[in-house]
Amino acid sequence: MNDGSRRAEGGAFPEGVVVPITGLLALLFAVMAGMSLRPALSGPPSHLTFPIAFAVASALCFRLRRRYVAARADEGD
């Protein structure tokens, strides 16, 4: 499947791995943020740390995925 040319250029991952993994991580962090929101709302304000951290991690993973997809699209042109 992969001839190794991407790794020879200094890429750490094969071509088709980063997009699905970052998408799954974004989904996982979004689900974790949603699951931890209800207990956080019923507790003290300090319990909001976890949902906020999970939401930020989800947004970061989604942003990395979009940047990688855009970079691959620019490579193809």
What are the extents of the domains in the chain?
Answer: 15-75
Tokens of 40: 């956080």
- Whole-angstrom Cα distance, residue 77 to residue 75? 6
* DSSP assignment of 2-59: --SHHHHTT-SS-TTTHHHHHHHHHHHHHHHHHHHHHHHHHS-GGGGHHHHHHHHHHH
Q: Report pLDDT digits (tens) over 32-76.
A: 999 999 999 999 989 999 999 999 999 999 999 999 888 888 877
Q: What is the pTM of this model?
A: 0.71
